[in-house]
Homo-oligomer: A and B are copies of this chain.
């Protein structure tokens, strides 16, 4: 079959890592008899440079027309890049937020997974992390503080800035269902995270999650306050299966959780709407400091492509093939610099490779 993949290479290391993912997709196509065509879409800093805005209406139309979108990363160094002298709505990140909203990508899945082969990269003590840390964050992505009204104005001569955090029951219900659905395919535990001792939006969140939970009697669920959750992710991350939470809390907790695994360069993510459509991207950022050096880890993007095959195209066999190839390459001892062991002694047993070589190795192992 033919699949039309929208490709947002983006900024920083984006183009390098996306090109490895395309290499892998092409190899999958050859092996399993599919064709992937790529529609290159500008977003972020590169779009600002070319068009003056981080995302044009035409770009949105192309993304909508695609069967799914594969993204690298967007944005640059906020201190030095001229993009950050522009007004907020014209900066690179504004493009991503606009796209999420335009495509109604309300369900953001962020796995945090400890690779047995990369255990030495995990910053937690061995007796705490043990083995088999494997959780999923289900983050609401089109509501809350990210999309509420905001304004900056003088009030009685004093500069005052306001953001608004709003959720309605329908927004909460649809993401809660997604959270419980995915828990059913995993270890059947949902931890819903909020700040219900302070926020009205969190109290509504808790109420609706409880209603949804009734439809999933096989799933154990609990409520946890966000401050406690930030502690528990360090103290005992293995207690979690699915964390279900709102947009801003999910932003913070998913980054914390991915760093707990020690290998954020390995972690993919999916942003889904109510159809089969999705946007797939690595959890890490655009890493402008190492862009163009050929050393970035392409695995998170390659695994994001695998997620795309699985969730948007129902190509499970093909997705398995990619995931297994990644594991084989790790087992064979190949590492990009970000996942090299810390200790000198262990470095001798692995081989450090660059971005393109890592892509090639994964293709060879498909």
Q: Closest approach, in angstroms, between the C-beta of A343 and any C-beta of chain B?
A: 8
- CB closest residue in chain B, given A147: B198
Q: A residues bordering B, Cβ < 8 Å?
A: 75, 78-79, 88, 91, 93, 97, 122-128, 145-146, 148, 150-152, 155, 158-170, 195-201, 203-205, 223, 226-228, 230-235, 248-249, 251-256, 258-260, 264, 342-343
Q: A227 vs B198: C-alpha distance in the bound complex, in angstroms?
A: 21
Q: Chain B nearest CB: distance from A120 CB in Å?
A: 9
Q: Distance (Å) between the CB of A290 and the closest chain B CB? A: 16
Given contacts A233-B256, A234-B259, 13 further A-B contacts (CB under 8 A): A122-B125, A125-B125, A158-B168, A158-B169, A158-B170, A160-B167, A162-B200, A165-B165, A195-B251, A226-B251, A227-B252, A230-B253, A234-B256
A231 touches which one: B162, B163, B227, B258 (CB < 8 A)?
B258
The complex places the Cα of A259 from the Cα of B170 at a distance, in Å, of: 35
Residues in B neighbouring A223, C-beta threshold 8 A: 78-79
Contact B165 A200 (CB under 8 A): no
Pull 9 A–B residue pairs with CB atoms less than 8 Å apart, ordered by A: A97-B198, A145-B165, A151-B200, A159-B168, A161-B166, A161-B203, A162-B200, A230-B256, A230-B259
Contact A162 B164 (CB under 8 A): yes
Chain B residue contacts of A145, Cβ below 8 A:
165, 198-199
Contact partners of A226 in chain B: CB under 8 A: 251-252
Instruction: Tell me which of B128, B146, B252 contacts A123 (CB under 8 A).
Output: B128
Kindly report which residue of chain B lies nearest to residue A204, judged by CB atoms. B161
A160 contacts B166, C-beta separation under 8 Å: yes
Check A146–B198 contact: CB distance below 8 A: yes
Return the contact of A152 from the options B91, B200, B259 (Cβ within 8 A). Answer: B200
By beta carbon, the residue of chain B nearest A128 is: B123
A230 & B204 in contact (Cβ 8 Å cutoff): no
B159 in contact with A169 (CB, 8 Å)? yes
The CA of A167 and the CA of B153, in the complex, are separated in Å by 11
Tell me if B228 and A255 are in contact (CB < 8 A): yes
Pair B123/A125 contact, Cβ less than 8 Å: yes
Known: A125-B125, A145-B198, A165-B165. A255 touches B227 (CB 8 A): yes
CA separation between A264 and B235, bound complex, in Å?
11
Expressed in whole angstroms, the minimum distance between the Cβ of A159 and any Cβ of chain B is 4
Among B78, B97, B123, point to the contact of A235 (Cβ < 8 A). Answer: B123
Q: B255 to A230, Cβ gap below 8 A?
A: yes
- A155–B195 Cα distance when bound, in Å, is 23
CA distance A249 to B122 in the complex (A): 25
A200/B91 contact (C-beta < 8 A), A227-B251, A227-B252 known: no
User: How far, in whole Å, are A255 and B165 apart by their CA atoms in the complex?
Assistant: 22
**Within the assembled complex, what's the spacing in Å between the Cα atoms of A255 and B256?**
13
- The answer to whether A162 and B125 touch across the interface, beta carbons within 8 angstroms, is no
Residues of B within 8 A of A342 (CB): 127
Residue among A146, A169, A228, A231 with max Cβ neighbours from chain B (10 Å): A231
Which residues of chain B are near A196, meaning CB under 8 Å?
A: 78
- Residue A78 contacts which of B128, B161, B197 (CB distance < 8 angstroms)? B197
Q: Are A150 and B252 in contact (CB under 8 A)?
A: no
CB distance from A75 to the nearest CB of B (A): 8
